[in-house]
Structures are given as C-alpha cells and as structure tokens.
Amino acid sequence: MTEPGLPTAPWSPAVTPGGPAAAPTPTSGGGAAAHSTPDAPAPGVLPAVEGGPLGEDGLVQLLTPPGERVSHPEYDAYVAHLTDDDLVDMYRDMVLTRRFDTEATALQRQGELALFAQALGQEAAQVGSGRALRAQDHVFPSYREHGVALVRGVDLTEVLRLFRGVDHGGWDPVAHGFHLYTLVIGSHALHATGYAMGVQRDGLVGTGDDERDTAVVAYFGDGATSQGDVNEALVFASVNRAPVVLFCQNNQWAISEPTTRQASAPIAARAPGYGIPAVRVDGNDVLASYAVTAQALERARTGGGPTFVEAFTYRMGAHTTSDDPSRYRSAEQEQYWRDRDPIDRLRAYLTARGVLSDELVAKVQAEADAFGEHVRTAVRGMGHPAPASMFEHVYATPHAGVEADRAWFEQYESSFLDTREGSHR
Amino acid sequence: MTATIDTTSAPGHPGPTRATSPTSPSATSPAPARSSDVPPFPTGTQRLTFAKALTLGLRRALADDDRVLLMGEDIGRLGGVFRVTDGLQAEFGDDRVVDTPLAESGIVGTAIGLAMRGYRPVLEIQFDGFIFPAYDQITTQLAKMHYRSKGRLSLPVVIRVPYGGGIGAVEHHSESPEVLFAHTAGLRVVTPSSPAEAYALIQQAIASPDPVLFFEPKGRYWEKGEVDLDAATAVPHGAATTGMDCARVVRTGTDVTLVAYGPTVATALKAADAAAAEGTSIEVVDLRTLSPLDTATVAESVRRTGRCVVVHEAPVTYGSGAEVAARITEECFYHLEAPVLRVGGFHIPYPVAKIEHDYLPSLDRVLDAVDRALAF
C-alpha cells in the first residue's frame, strides 16, 4: 500500500514535497478566472455567513465530520488526482504530527523543554495545505506549524531546539523552503509578501513550467489578522499582485481571546476589500484544505496574484504549555470540537473505503511510536551551547563592539581555575 | 472574475497627512525620461551638493548590481521629497526604483523578504519621525535574522533616513533617533557628514552584507563639496579612514578633541576655526559610524589632547555622547585633563521651528563647552 513511498526515516514526510502528491493542474486557462464555474461563487465574493467570525456556513468541505465524502463543484477537480496512497500518506503525516505534539508536551512536563506550542487539532489544515506545495515553494510559518514543517522535510526535533532554548531557530530555512518560526505575531506575512515580490522579479511566475513557477505561503492565526503587519501585507501583496497565499488558521483562540475579539465578521471577508480573493475552508478537512490551497497556489504561480485562505479550525490544546484554557473556555466547546477531530475524520473516510486496514493503522501507530522515541532521544541529547557561542552570527562581518565583548568574556571565562564547560554554573 | 485591483486606476496620493518637503519642490513632476535622455555617468572630481552626491552614489550602486532596488514613498516620479532619487526611476525602471504604499513597516518587512530572495533593497524613510511604524520590523526582524538563523540568512538592507533639524520643519521632521538603532545589536549605523562621504558611504552601506541604518543630515543636503566620482568605494568594512567602520580625524589639533557626526561635523569645524583665532587648537573627529563605534580613533586623539567634547543634535540623555564619554573615561582616564563634556539636544521633544536654533548645538554652545573643558 504505502510501502513504495515510505522513506527510511520514520520522521520524514511520506512523499517529497513537490512529488506526485503535489501540484494538480485541473484547469488549462491559467488565470484565476478559470477556476470559477457557473455553480460556484466567484473568488473574492464570499457567501453571506451567519454567526459572524465563528460561522460555519459556507465553508468549503469535501469530507463531513463523520467522514463522508461530499462533492464540491469547484474543488473536486483539485483532489481528483489524489490516490488512496496519497490519502494514507496524509493520514500518516497527521498522526506523526500529533505524536510529536504529545511527545513534546510530555518533554516539557519533564523539564526537558522550556515551552511548547501544540498544533493539536490543526493537523488537517497544516498537512492538507502543506502537501499542495511544490519543492521550490517557500513557507513562512508562525510557530505551531509543525505539520507543515513535517511535510517540508524538516526533522521536527530541530523545531524543539527553539523550545529547549539551545537555538533561536534550528533548521536550515533555505534547504527546506520553510522559514524559521516567527514569534512576533504577523511580522512574517510581510516577509512572505516581499519574498514573493522577489520571486516575481526572478521571473518565476507564469512561465508555465511546473518546475519553475513558484509560490509563497504565510501561515498565521486569527489573532494575527488584527496586526498592522498582516494588513500591510495584504496591501503590498495586492498592489504588487504578489504570488503569495495568506493562509490564516482561524483556530478560534488567540491565547485566551476568542476570534470575536479580533473580528465581528468572518476574517476572510476582509480580503476582497484589499482586492484579494478569499476562501473559507473547513480546516479540519484535510482534503478541502488541500484543494483550496492548491487552487490558491495555482493562482499565485500563474500570475493571478495573492489569495487569502481562512481555514476554520480549533486549537484543541492550550496556547502553549504555560496556558490554562480551563480559565476561559468551556469543556462543552472542547468536546464539540473533539467530536470533529481532523484525524478521526480522515480515518473514518479511509476505513469506510476499505483503504485503511487495522493492520495499516497499527503500522502507522508503530511508526509514530518510533518517531516519539526519536524525538525523546534527540531532545535529551541536544547538549549545552558553549557560552561564547552567544557572540556568533550577530553580524555577517566582524563588528568591533561584538568582538570587544567577546574578547572580554573569553578572558573572563579563562580567569577561572576550572574552565571545563559549564563548570562554574 | 477576480477581485484584484487595477493598479493603473489607483487613487492618488492619500491626503495631506504627510507634510510636504520643506525644500522647494518642482511645480510639476518631471515626466519620466526616455532611456536616451539619461545623462552619462559623470566622472572626475566635481563640486556637488550632498543630495546630488547621494543620487550619484545610488545611481552607481544600481548600475553596478542589478540586485539593488530602491523602495520608498514618493521616490519614483517625484524623486523623493528631497529629490535624492531624482531621475533614477526613469533610468532603472519602476521595478527597481519602487514607489511603495505608505506603510513603513510594510516597506521594511517586504524588503526583508526581498533580501531573503537575494535582493539588496535600499529603503527611504521619508523623514526621521516616520521610522517608528517600522521600528518593530527593524529591531525584532531585520536586526536579528542573521543571528536567529545562525548565519544562514543575511539581510543586506540599507535604510536611508533623512534626520536632524535646522530646516524650519513641522513636528516629526527634525528628529535624531540614531541611538535607538545603535543600541540594537545586528544593525550597523552610519552617517555621512559631507558630499564626498555621502557618495562613498552609501555605496559601502549597500555593499555590506549586514543591515545598515544610513542617517542623512537633511540640513546639509544643499551644501556643496568636492566629490571624486571615480573613487573606488565598494569595500564596506575596509581600511581605516575609508572603510564604513571607521571614524576619521577631519582636522588635527592639540588642545581639545571635538567629536561630531553627521550634521554637527560642519559645526565642529567652524568652532575649530573660531577657536584657532583665539589660539586654541581643536582636533575634530567625525565618527562616521555609531555602530560599530570606532573608539580607538577617538581615544588616540584624546590621549594627545587630554580633553574631549562630544557634539550631536540628539538629546544628550542616554545619547551617543554618553557612550563616547564612558568609553573615553575607561580608556583614557589617566590622560584626561577634564571630564568629557557633551553638547546636544535637551531632554524635551524637538521644539517648534521658531526656536529650534536655541535647541540645536550651535557654534557658541560648542565653544562654550570647549572653554569649560579648558578651564579644568
């Protein structure tokens, strides 16, 4: 079933980004208008939504919460090429992401990590959108996009270097087309937009060559949409027609503040005012998340400009390990969303199709357990940064102020009788 | 149909919230020149205004490296409110000399993304007092990306900031916020004091792999000086007296070291002239760079003179004068005949234009400080 695609390392993505699972081209028109059908509202014109920013009406959905495949006139085309193996791979990525969350949370409780931010509940939005990317695309994540990181081929233990306090980043952002986590809310929406403006200047938009046309994605949350930087990113992306997808995971909570403190109307409804097409998708539906992202990426690559995606989902866990959601939200609400678990939804669909056998579920679970073991071992083996490493990479070229401080510090350190690493702490 | 905006029908420049240039603007914007209208690059040594020297430095950088981009508000057809980018959009096109939306954080934030993609953006912040919407992007992103990425990402972004007062402007158009950036690790902060320095330093800043805050003393934009346009300038962190990291002794003397930078270098030189008439020999050091601060050049001078006065327009409280004083006290304690004195702005918001010359460090206030230093 999945064996041919399974890489040797259990924590690698099941399929290389940009591989067979990515990049559908169901339309031939090239322009954004080609995606419209008579049955679907035009991009940028959102159907009226009852219930304000938390309304669930009109979300693009291909899998219902019980796992039933429903047809969509516009988006079926974007998933038509996906095989059962592709869907099992998505299932696997989501299970691994959740196992990573569980393991990292446990490591924080054991004192091995200073902090951790779970992706719990957002696996479908992340894995679905991430799998629509190609190798040459570039992602600017916020700080809980572990599912996207996994799909981009980042060893997730590298992510934990940040949370353990041994690195401010961890991985090579260029090698994976996956930028470092940005902790200041929304700042990276501008970086993504500027990067996309660079892609434009490089002539890598609208060439018609799937290996060259490039798109950029910024992931941020509902809280970030209140930031000036996200709004400025929408302006710059719009007037420059930048090949960028602004992917908002509306997980309904910005730490303790509900989306209703950020917006009184659906967040995605703002984008058309900037001249940017928008779509609201069921973010707990991995297929729909894949489909809307694939469409948005295609629009970007073909020169159709930016798209705003609002993936409506739920932060099933705490904001971080330092948070206590019981202070601000109800157990009933949490249960409502546990019943809409994105992994359960895909599992139910695949099981009903006869694709996901008990044996295969067990096999994925075994892989996840091995991955957890890998995470545990890697974190405990991360070691202690050399104190003088704090002076490295402040500048790309030597800076007299840094060098003077470094020289003083090294002299000071060497003045102790016992200079073994860490001996004076 | 998509809901994208037709940029060709975009509305005009919004509102009067940005004050217009205090310089004499053209009655009409010049029409974009055809490429055949572009004048050849001037050569040899010419007498140029500070602004024109910057224009030519930018022009040379654009011509030398097609990854160099200029971005800012009104820098295209208008040529910038101070005309520093005059004619550059016509010569290099609107993809390389980019009129941006009126959003300073957006300008810096998108420049960071462009730099990650391999471009070398040179940004114009229209006035010193407008930089603060971009302060977050500059200090939390631009300054720290190389560090955060352990050297995997370099951001060769230059931010040009017309700064300082003395031009009779309205509020927010005369400030000197340079130390806020010199205080931030990861940024380099330089400021030229003459047309020749402007021409060289802007090219060095653009060639640097680090982010550079480039403070232009706007009150000196129309002062003229000799500029060697053929000088090789593209080594950013090169040898003493020519590299971007170095202070420079611009007048030698024996009795007092006057430390200045940007707009106050000319004031210091005038003070040296006036003092010489009364028999006092003043050495003037142009810091040129605030980050890194070239302590060695200042200390070498003070060891000879025994006295040091620092002059800048920014408030002296926690200012660069305080930093120089602390370092000189540490390094030259046994050579000092007097405490290091500071002449600069008071601990007040920049005052209204009619009394700004009572706020700025004038020739008389500099000479007063020199007298006090000599009286110890």
Domains in chain B, CATH or no CATH each? 45-228 (3.40.50.970), 248-375 (3.40.50.920)
Residue A318 distance to chain B (closest CA, Å)? 26
Task: Give me A135's structure tokens.
Answer: 């190798």
Query: Domain spans of chain A?
Result: 3-13+40-380, 388-425
Structure confidence by residue, pLDDT tens digits, A165-204:
999 998 999 999 999 999 999 999 999 999 999 999 999 9
Q: How confident is the model at residue A8 (pLDDT cuts 50, 70, 90)?
A: very low
Are B150 and A305 a contacting pair at CB < 8 A?
no
The whole-number pLDDT of residue B35 equals 55
Degrees (nearest 5) of the Cα angle B210, B216, B217?
Answer: 150
Instruction: Count A/B contacts: CB-CB distance under 8 Å.
Output: 181
Active site residue A319: yes
Distance from CA of B109 to the nearest CA of A (A): 5
- Res B24: pLDDT: 37
Question: Residue B350 has what pLDDT?
Answer: 98
A399-420: average pLDDT: 89
State the CATH architecture for A3-13+40-380: 3-Layer(aba) Sandwich (3.40)
Q: Is the separation of the CB atoms in B64 and B116 below 8 Å?
A: no
Integer angstrom CA distances of residue B343 from A121, B194, B272, B298: 60, 21, 15, 17
Average pLDDT over chain A reads 89
Q: What confidence tens digit (pLDDT) does each residue in A350-382 have?
A: 999 999 999 999 999 999 999 999 999 999 999
Look at residue A197 in the predicted model and tell me its pLDDT: 98
Whole-number pLDDT of residue A9: 37
Q: How sure is the predictor about A248, in pLDDT bands with cuts at 50, 70 and 90?
A: very high
Classified as helix, coil or strand, B309 is strand
Q: What ipTM did this prediction achieve?
A: 0.89
For residue B30, the model assigns a pLDDT of 43
Which residues of B are the active-site residues?
173
Question: What is the pLDDT averaged over residues A314-326?
Answer: 95
Residue A27's pLDDT is 42
**How much is the pLDDT for B237?**
77
CB B311, CB B361: distance < 8 Å: yes
Interface test with B, best of A159, A232, A246 (most B CBs within 10 A): A232
The residue in chain A having the minimum alpha-carbon distance to the alpha carbon of residue B71 is A194
pLDDT tens sequence across A21-38: 444 444 433 333 333 344
Q: Are B214 and B190 in contact (CB under 8 A)?
A: yes
Confidence of residue A6 (pLDDT cuts 50, 70, 90): very low
pLDDT for residue A170: 84
Is B2 within 8 Å of A277 when comparing Cβ atoms?
yes
Which chain A residue's Cα is nearest to B296? A400
Chain-chain contact of B116 with A402 (C-beta, under 8 angstroms): no
Residues 148..167 of B with a Cβ closer than 8 Å to A: which?
Answer: 148-154
Residue A422 pLDDT > 60 = no
> Do the Cβ atoms of A397 and B149 come within 8 Å?
no
The answer to whether residue B30 neighbours chain A at the CB level (below 8 Å) is no
Nearest-Cα residue of chain A relative to residue B7? A239
Backbone CA torsion sign across A358, A364, A365, A370:
positive
Please identify every stretch of chain B with a pLDDT value under 50, giving residue numbers as ranges: 1-34
Interface of B with A in 294-333 (CB under 8 A): 294-295
Question: Can you give the three-state secondary structure of B1-14, one letter per residue?
Answer: CCCCCCHHHCCCCC
Out of A42, A45, A190, the one facing B105 most closely (by C-beta) is A190
pLDDT of A72 > 50? The answer is: yes
Contact A393 B150 (CB under 8 A): yes
| pLDDT at residue B236 in the model | 78
B137 touches chain A (CB under 8 A): yes
pTM over 0.95: no
Cβ <8 Å between A235 and B109: no
pLDDT band at A420, cuts 50/70/90?
Answer: low
Q: Give the closest-approach CA distance of A340 to chain B in angstroms.
A: 32
* Residue B59: half-sphere exposure toward Cβ, Cα within 13 Å: 23
Decide if B178 contacts B314 (C-beta within 8 A): yes
Virtual torsion, Cα A393, A395, A396, A399, nearest 10 deg: -120
